[in-house]
């Protein structure tokens, strides 16, 4: 099974880039994941203010809004994609993230087998 | 409570291999090391639900395993026992008391893990025993899980494990990483075990058999661990590359009723691009090393050729034929030659393929194998020799044990005869 661990740093955008010690600690953690054969991919995201968002209305019309955004909702700062043998194992790895003032959300990735049989059949037949 | 147990089991799965490896370095016996580690697990299952998981669970488990073993040996010393047993335990006690696991540097832990892998895959053990022991001690799988994965009885697996540990103990197999020429000699056994686990999952991974897909993931995980421990060995990267690229096709290789779909007929849009990229990167790392790549690297390179073709018609068959030629040189096998004949047929037309088939047709290893007539039939059909091709399809149909495949072969023969 695969899990996405989403990092939500609860900090101001001006402090977005991790420095010195925090950067090193995260590097060590990523090494551990890699050595354990769990890590499939990972990335850190540039601050939300540099980004933009595309929203769709109820007719599916797209509107682009550039950052920075007025509302300071929780935003994703980065992610790890890992292979784990159970949700508990993924949660244990998430608990080992060297984080401060942040939240790590663990979400399982859909597998083909999770979908209803007719969707699976259609996929396999295509 | 059940939730707490599952969480503890998850910690156990993360920590157990390193724990057993560290203990085995001290006591020089993987069987004993496993018993000690199990003791620590029992202690964790008693304590952690109330106290919570400690800050550094690995260190906690190690300290507990050591202390429990020391206590037990001290206690047993006072009983009446054979002198050599006491002497043996005194040696162990000394080893345990002076060892300082927490001070072990990262590369020492890595060395212990590597030694554990080589011990589990020791050539003294049968293939089945090596697989079971590796999954148990490195994968942290239970006996029941191993039994389920390999469709054998639990007692069979349990016996295999007991016997394997006994064999290692009696032969006094040293707990160490082989070096130099011995490393080259013993690495293939390790790679074989990992690839066997992968293939057990891959060969049977139909949708409902989730356990078996798990087996593919476990093999990949073991391979990725090994790559970190032995980064200078191109064949380790080669094996990982091969498994990543093969696993990328897991979703594409079965039709709606579970029937296998051949590589060239698969929907390539269903291949997993992440695993393809990972496989290609592993292959690049293998090729960048001074040691030449071997059979796994070459098979990975062939798999990468297929992965690089967006449509089956774009496959670089010239390169695949050349890779099979190199593979046949370093690992001569009629099956490899047969694959090379297919590649030659795709790259240069039927004649060179048929010529190669003529060279290997009398190989006893291919006697009774339906692939030989089936590949020849294909090449004959391409050459426009319809009647001969039909006869070969017939022959292949008689030889195959797979009903679905037989029906397909008969259909192809009939179609040729009708035209």
Distance separating alpha carbons of residues B180 and A26, to the nearest angstrom: 35
CB–CB contact A125 B274 (8 Å): no
Task: State the pLDDT at residue B108.
Answer: 75
State chain A's maximal CA–CA distance in angstroms: 52
Q: Which residue has the higher pLDDT, B95 or B403?
A: B403
Share of chain B above pLDDT 90, in %: 71
A119 in contact with chain B, both atoms CB, cutoff 8 A:
no
d(CA B70, nearest CA chain A) in Å: 29
Least confident span in A16-25, A87-96, B197-206, B291-300 = B197-206
Whether the upstream peptide bond of residue A68 has omega within 30° of 0, thus cis, is yes
The tokens describing B225, both together, are 């661990």
**What confidence category does residue B73 fall into, taking pLDDT thresholds of 50, 70 and 90?**
confident
Chain A residues near residue B214 by CB distance under 8 angstroms: 85
d(CA A89, nearest CA chain B) in Å: 5
Give residue-wise pLDDT tens across range A81-126.
Answer: 999 999 999 999 999 999 888 999 999 999 888 899 899 888 888 8
Least confident span in B138-152, B215-229, B274-288, B312-326 = B138-152
Domains of chain A, CATH where assigned: 2-48+75-125 (3.30.70.1060)
Q: Has residue B207 got a pLDDT over 80?
A: no
Least confident span in A41-50, B80-89, B325-334 = B80-89
Task: State the pLDDT at residue B88.
Answer: 67
Mean pLDDT on B264-273: 94
3-class DSSP state of B207: coil
A22 in contact with chain B, both atoms CB, cutoff 8 A:
no
CB–CB contact A91 B11 (8 Å): no
pTM: 0.90
Task: State the pLDDT at residue B100.
Answer: 60
Task: State the pLDDT at residue B2.
Answer: 79
Which residue in the set B14, B210, B255 is minimally distant from A36, CB to CB?
Answer: B14
Mean pLDDT on A15-43: 92
Q: How far is CA B280 from the centre of its chain?
A: 19
Task: State the pLDDT at residue B200.
Answer: 86
Contact B329, B300 (CB under 8 A): no
Question: Measured between alpha carbons, how far is residue B65 from residues B46, B250, B284 in Å?
Answer: 14, 40, 42
B222 in contact with chain A, both atoms CB, cutoff 8 A:
yes
Chain A residues near residue B13 by CB distance under 8 angstroms: 85-86, 89
Distance separating alpha carbons of residues A112 and B205, to the nearest angstrom: 13
CB–CB contact B14 A92 (8 Å): yes
The DSSP H or E segment spanning B188 is: helix B180-204
Q: What angle do CA B302, B304, B310 make, to 5 degrees?
A: 115
Chain A residues near residue B14 by CB distance under 8 angstroms: 36, 89, 92-93
Chain B residues near residue A124 by CB distance under 8 angstroms: 254-256
d(CA B347, nearest CA chain A) in Å: 28
Share of chain B above pLDDT 70, in %: 90
Which residue in the set A92, A120, A125 is minimally distant from B207, CB to CB?
Answer: A120
Contact B176, B116 (CB under 8 A): no
Q: Which residue has the higher pLDDT, B211 or B239?
A: B239
Mean pLDDT on B382-396: 95
Q: Has residue B210 got a pLDDT over 50?
A: no
Phi, psi of A4 (to 5 degrees): -105, 125
Mean pLDDT on B300-319: 97
Task: State the pLDDT at residue B320.
Answer: 98
d(CA A114, nearest CA chain B) in Å: 10
Q: Which residue has the higher pLDDT, B143 or B74?
A: B143
Q: Which residue has the higher pLDDT, B208 or B243?
A: B243
**What confidence category does residue B340 fall into, taking pLDDT thresholds of 50, 70 and 90?**
very high
Task: State the pLDDT at residue A121.
Answer: 87
Distance separating alpha carbons of residues B308 and B378, to the nearest angstrom: 24
Share of chain A above pLDDT 70, in %: 98
A123 in contact with chain B, both atoms CB, cutoff 8 A:
yes
Q: Has residue B326 got a pLDDT over 90?
A: yes
Q: Has residue B53 got a pLDDT over 60?
A: yes
Which residue in the set B218, B255, B278 is minimally distant from A125, CB to CB?
Answer: B255
Q: Has residue B105 got a pLDDT over 70?
A: no
CATH level 2 (architecture), domain B334-419? Alpha Horseshoe (1.25)
d(CA A72, nearest CA chain B) in Å: 33
Which residue in the set A35, A83, A95 is minimally distant from B217, CB to CB?
Answer: A83
**What confidence category does residue B103 fall into, taking pLDDT thresholds of 50, 70 and 90?**
low
Give residue-wise pLDDT tens across range B360-373.
Answer: 999 998 888 899 99
Task: State the pLDDT at residue B149.
Answer: 82
Task: State the pLDDT at residue B198.
Answer: 94
Which residue in the set B6, B220, B228 is minimally distant from A34, CB to CB?
Answer: B228
Task: State the pLDDT at residue B405.
Answer: 80
Angle between the N-to-C axes of helices A87-95 and B2-27, in degrees from 0 to 180, rounded to the nearest 10: 70
Task: State the pLDDT at residue B336.
Answer: 95
């Amino acid at each position: 099974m695969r899990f996405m661990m989403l990092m939500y740093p609860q900090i101001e955008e001006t402090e977005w880039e991790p420095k010195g010690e925090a950067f090193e600690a995260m590097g060590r953690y990523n090494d551990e994941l890699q050595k354990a054969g769990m890590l499939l991919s990972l990335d850190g995201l540039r601050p939300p203010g540099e980004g933009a968002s595309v929203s769709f209305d109820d007719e599916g019309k797209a509107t682009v809004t550039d950052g920075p955004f007025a509302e300071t909702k929780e935003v994703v700062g980065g992610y790890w994609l890992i292979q784990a043998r159970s949700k508990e194992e993924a949660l244990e790895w998430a608990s080992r993230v060297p984080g401060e003032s942040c939240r790590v959300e663990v979400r399982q990735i859909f597998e083909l087998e999770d979908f209803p049989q007719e969707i699976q059949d259609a996929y396999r037949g295509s | 409570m059940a939730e707490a147990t599952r969480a503890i089991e998850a910690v156990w799965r993360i920590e157990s291999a390193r724990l057993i490896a560290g203990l085995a370095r001290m006591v020089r016996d993987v069987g004993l090391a496993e018993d000690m580690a199990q003791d620590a697990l029992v202690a964790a299952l008693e304590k952690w639900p109330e106290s919570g998981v400690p800050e550094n669970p690995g260190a906690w488990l190690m300290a507990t395993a050591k202390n429990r073993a020391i206590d037990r040996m001290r206690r047993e010393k006072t009983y009446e026992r054979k002198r050599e047993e006491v002497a043996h335990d005194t040696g162990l006690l000394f080893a345990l008391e002076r060892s300082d696991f927490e001070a072990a540097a990262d590369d020492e832990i890595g060395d212990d893990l590597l030694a554990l892998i080589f011990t589990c895959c020791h050539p003294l053990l049968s293939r089945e025993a090596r697989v079971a022991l590796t999954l148990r001690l490195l994968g942290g799988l239970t006996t029941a899980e191993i039994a389920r994965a390999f469709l054998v009885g639990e007692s069979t697996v349990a016996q295999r494990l007991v016997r394997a540990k006994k064999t290692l103990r009696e032969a006094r197999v040293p707990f160490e990483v082989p070096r130099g020429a011995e490393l080259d000699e013993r690495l293939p056994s390790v790679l074989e075990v990992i690839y066997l686990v992968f293939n057990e999952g891959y060969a049977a991974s139909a949708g409902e058999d989730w356990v078996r897909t798990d087996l593919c993931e476990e093999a990949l995980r073991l391979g990725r661990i090994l790559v970190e421990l032995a980064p200078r060995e191109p064949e380790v990267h080669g094996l990982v590359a091969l498994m990543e690229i093969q696993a990328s096709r897991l979703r594409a290789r079965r039709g709606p009723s579970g029937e296998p779909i051949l590589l060239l007929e698969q929907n390539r849009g269903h291949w997993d691009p992440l695993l393809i990229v990972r496989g290609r990167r592993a292959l690049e790392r293998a090729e960048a090393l001074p040691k030449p790549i071997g059979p796994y690297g070459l098979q990975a390179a062939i798999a990468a050729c297929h992965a690089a073709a967006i449509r089956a018609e774009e496959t670089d068959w010239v390169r695949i034929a050349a890779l099979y030629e190199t593979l046949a040189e370093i690992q001569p096998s009629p099956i490899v030659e047969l694959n090379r004949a297919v590649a030659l047929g795709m790259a240069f037309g039927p004649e060179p393929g048929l010529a190669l088939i003529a060279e290997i047709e009398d190989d006893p290893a291919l006697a009774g194998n339906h692939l030989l007539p089936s590949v020849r039939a294909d090449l004959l059909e391409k050459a426009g020799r319809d009647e001969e091709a039909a006869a070969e399809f017939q022959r292949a149909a008689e030889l195959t044990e797979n009903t679905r495949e037989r029906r397909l072969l008969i259909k192809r023969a009939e179609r040729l005869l009708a035209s």
